[in-house]
Amino acid sequence: MVEDRIRLEPSWKAALGDEFDKSYMTTLRQFLVREKQARKVIYPKGANIFAALDLIPLDDVKVVIIGQDPYHGPQQAHGLCFSVQPGVSQPPSLVNIFKEINDDLGTPERTLDDKHGCLLPWAQQGVLLLNSVLTVERGRAGSHQGRGWETFTDRIVETLNTSQSGLVFMLWGSYAHKKGAIVDRNRHCVLSAPHPSPLSAHRGFFDCGHFSAANRYLEDNGQTPIDWFRVE
């Protein structure tokens, strides 16, 4: 059974609850307990680890954006990939995401700026901001990779792929491309591009047009488009 202290929206609990009883999840839980006992700082806070799932019922997901692991700096991570908490400076990848939105959809009257970086309003519209690994040690990027989170988030992608139709998957970078390889292209819209990191954004993330393409697909399938300019 899913432990009561885990904050997970009921439809996701119904779909994924059995995962919490599997051996890989027990091993992962034991690892996290040891890390905390060693007084290591783990991000995000426990209440936010499953925030991406807790915010959106399974049937309300429209768009899936796949990240790698949480930001590892203080006050940044809060359970939504690429997003930072209100008042925190935008990390470089998010700066480039906002630049692409401005170039793709912006007008002189409507642009994103550098004052906001919390993507909670996207989640509230049905954008699942899913990291592949849901925790990280402070100051150590990738430190919780290979501990079991990937198995859990693979199951999320599988569930979305088979139980829903007409979703938009935004896959940025080789890691996300591999994560989304199982997605049925006949059932869903899959948009692939390089990662928005400054190291790769100029190789095809800029001018990819994913945000307008996602909205066109949603509208063509009778869905309300995403207001990508809504941030906190």
Other Cβ atoms within 10 Å of 33 Cβ, number: 10
Per the structure block, which two tokens stand in for 13? Answer: 């609990």
* Peptide bond preceding 108 in cis form (omega within 30 of 0): no
Pairing of strands 136-137, 127-131: unpaired
pLDDT for res 1: 36
Question: Catalytic residue among 54, 59, 69, 113, which?
Answer: 69
Look up 69 and say whether it is catalytic. yes
- Asked if residues 169 and 180 have their Cβ atoms less than 8 Å apart, the reply is yes
Structure pTM? 0.96
pLDDT for res 7: 77
State which residues of the chain have pLDDT below 50: 1-4
Q: Is 19 exposed, middle or buried (0-12, 13-18, 19+ CB in 10 A)?
A: middle
Other Cβ atoms within 10 Å of 154 Cβ, number: 13
pLDDT tens-digit profile of 55-106?
999 999 999 999 999 999 999 999 999 999 999 999 999 999 999 999 999 9
